[in-house]
Structure 1
Amino acid sequence: MTITAAADGSALGNPGPAGWAWYVNDDCWRAGGWPHGTNNQGELMAVLDLFRSTAHLPGEKLHILCDSQYVINSVTKWMPGWKRKGWRKSDGKPVMNVDLLKDIDRALTGRMYTFEWVRGHAGHDLNEAADDRARAAATAYQQGVAVRQGPGFGPAQEGATLQGTTQEGAAPAYATPADAAPPAQAAPAARPAAPLRGGQQELFSTPDLFSTPDLFSELDEPVPAAGGDMSPEAIVESLERELLRPETRADLGRTGVLLHPDFTEIGSSGRIWTRDDSMMALEENPDRPTDLEVLGAERLGEGAILLTYRSYSRSGTALHSSLWVLDGTQWRLRFHQGTPEA
């Protein structure tokens, strides 16, 4: 039998009050969060807690539904290489969220699992249920109230839960990485959890993991916010120029702030890129410096600006349109399309 569960994370402000959740059914789910964290940290923590919560069932396969390609690629593609390099990326910089990734690496030892990408906010029942609970946890921390943790995955839930799981032979999009430990190796037991205020539990060996600066709070300079001396059009142009700089494109934290959580891009080949796709591709190949000539900046409402421009690079010129929207007090890129100029 295979246990099918969705895992999701949420951050209000990203970074900000953050939550995570995994969901099998209404009788089998779990959620938690922190006063300050990022969406990626929530996504990773949901996967980690799912492995820990099912550690007493090492013989059961896990089929994990996830809308974050960052998480899927981190676990199934990049983590083995990061480990060989001492948890550093190809450019020698430390891997982001390394504590969570190390814990996931330990938790999946001996486990049988597959990942499947599902599009977020697209009506997938399990994904929507996990997203609702992760956002509720983040909201609870924002409001200073207790988080609904859920029943978890204990002996009382096993019978009911496994009746709703899928049979072996399903073909998810992502398979267990080839270098994962063999299934015969026993899975590690979950670590003891220390109680925290509000009924939450600390699932890390380092209690203050999220009291240290995260990948977004380590930015060299703040993202321009709405208001101040700069006009919205000037702010958007400044941010667009920033996104064209190689040092920005190579920084996951920076692009994570500049790109809206629902960002999409239509590339010159016609491919549709998600936010996670774009962030990973930019980090791996930040390219050379690019200059731009603004063609227009049109306000589409109180909180939306359409920026059109021509870019100049060694490969030639291209025409671009970027839709920037106001997310709270910050402008973020919601949609982009670029077409090489004849």
Structure 2
Amino acid sequence: MTITAAADGSALGNPGPAGWAWYIDDETWRAGGWPHGTNNQGELMAVLDLLRSTAHRADEPLKILCDSQYVINCLTKWMPGWKRKGWRKADGKPVLNVDLLKDLDDALKGRNVAFEWVKGHAGHSLNEAADDRARAVATAYQRGGKSIPSGPGFPGAQLSEPQNAETRRAETRSLSVQRSDARTAPAEAAVFQNPHAATGPAPSATVQAQPSASASASGSASASVSGADEAEPDLFSVLEEDFRDSAGQQDAVATVTALEKRLLEPAVRGDLGEVARILHPDFEEIGSSGRTWSREEMLLVLADEDHEPVDMTPLSASRLNESAILLQYRTRSAGRTVLRSSLWLLTEPASSRGAAAEGTWRLRFHQGTPE
């Protein structure tokens, strides 16, 4: 009999108070979290705890419903390549959340696991239940760490309370990652000053992680996707599929808004390869000081800067025509608020980079004005 469960994560501020949860029914669920973590860490920890909670029934197939493409791609597409490179990406940089990923790699050994994407916040009962519990944990930590829900767990599982040893160990991992990824940014650059992360993106298909001879030997899940172990994260591929209507048409405004939020994330801006793919070849920015920045100047600045999250408040998003979208929003950091405008243009199709067939949205112009 297949065990079906939803797994989800939540972070208030991202990074900030964070929670994770998996849910089967009202009598079978579990949750935990940390005072400081990211949404992606919560998503990964939810899957890890689910695998551990069902380890005593490893002979039964496990179906995991996720609204995060990051999780599914990590475990079924990217991880084999990362392992071959010593847990480093193609550009040689260390893989984020590597301790959680190594634990997941071990937990997947010998398991028959299928990952299926479900659209988040779209009324899916299991996903909504997991999301509610993960967010409740994050909220509890935000309010001081009292009355944190943990759930009844899985019958027969031999695990400690999620808020005890396991949570403290994961919290230590989380803090070490955040110290290296969240730093302080200078006030000059507008679009890149002080990042803010968005909710993890989602994929468009079901992928299978089936045990095999190679999987059992190496401890990695195998995906039923050709060449999957060579794939690397790409912001366009991991975001654009998350915003499609029932007919499969891309919601361009939602896609661009998500890209803008992701561009403000410390881990993203710290990867200049990803930033270079987002910025239009003719990108220009008028910074808060009035200085104009070119694409090359901005990339050079980013290479030497530290990054820190800020709060972001969307104000408006207007599709000017089929190929142009104007975003306006407010950021707040250290008591300073800035009004920002970004112009996104739809470029030629770039399927070789994993983008949607209709083309790739790139940031052409940005301006920030201090309030």
Which TM-score band applies after superposition, normalised by the shorter structure?
A: 0.5 to 0.7
Query: CA contact under 8 A between 1:149 and 1:200: conserved in structure 2?
Result: no
Matched, 1:339 2:303: no
Aligned residues: CA RMSD: 4.3
- One-letter amino acid matched to 2:152: P
CA contact (8 A) 1:258 1:333 kept: no
In the other structure, the counterpart of 1:290 is 281
**Within 1, Cα distance between the matches of 2:341 and 2:164?**
34
TM-score, with length taken from structure 2 = 0.59
Instruction: Give unmatched runs, 5+ long, in structure 1.
Output: 157-189, 225-229, 244-253, 296-301, 311-317
Determine the structure 1 residue equivalent to 2:69.
69
Task: Go from structure 1 to structure 2 and tell me whether the alpha carbon gap of 1:335 and 1:33 turns closer, same or farther (over 3 Å shift).
Answer: farther
Structure 2 counterpart of 1:9, one-letter code: G
1:320 to 1:125, Cα distance in 2 relative to 1, 3 A: same
Partner of 1:304: 315
1:212-291 correspondence runs (5 A): 212-214=176-178, 217-219=181-183, 221=185, 238-239=190-191, 242=192, 257-258=195-196, 260-261=198-199, 271-272=250-251, 275=258, 286-287=276-277, 290-291=281-282
What TM-score results when the alignment is normalised by the length of structure 1?
0.63
Aligned length: 263
Specify the alignment match of 2:149 in structure 1.
Answer: 148
Which residue of 298, 321, 328 maps to 2:325?
Answer: 321
Give, as a single letter, the amino acid of the residue that structure 2 aligns with 1:210: S
Matches within 5 A, 1:1-342: 1-144=1-144, 145-155=146-156, 193=160, 200-202=164-166, 208-214=172-178, 217-219=181-183, 221=185, 238-239=190-191, 242=192, 257-258=195-196, 260-261=198-199, 271-272=250-251, 275=258, 286-287=276-277, 290-292=281-283, 304-306=315-317, 320-326=324-330, 338-340=345-347
For the 8 Å contact 1:147–1:200, the answer to whether it is kept is no
Letter of the aligned partner of 2:76 in structure 1? Answer: T
Shift of 1:212: 2.0
Distance in 2, matches of 1:284 and 1:293, equals 17
Change in CA separation of 1:111 and 1:331 when aligned onto 2, cut-off 3 Å:
farther
Identity of aligned residues (%): 51
Change (3 A) 1:202 1:218: same
Change (3 A) 1:204 1:61: farther
- Checking the alignment, whether the CA contact within 8 Å between 2:65 and 2:118 is kept in structure 1 is yes
Return the alpha-carbon distance in structure 2 between the equivalents of residues 59 and 282 of structure 1: 43
Cα 1:262/1:46, change in 2 over 3 Å: closer
For structure 2, which runs of at least 5 residues remain unmatched after alignment? 202-238, 287-312, 349-371
Contact 1:258–1:331 (CA<8 Å) still a contact in 2?
A: no
- CA shift in 2, pair 1:32/1:262, >3 Å: closer
Q: How far apart, in 1, do the equivalents of 2:200 and 2:62 lie?
A: 27
Q: Is contact 1:306-1:323 (8 Å) kept? A: yes
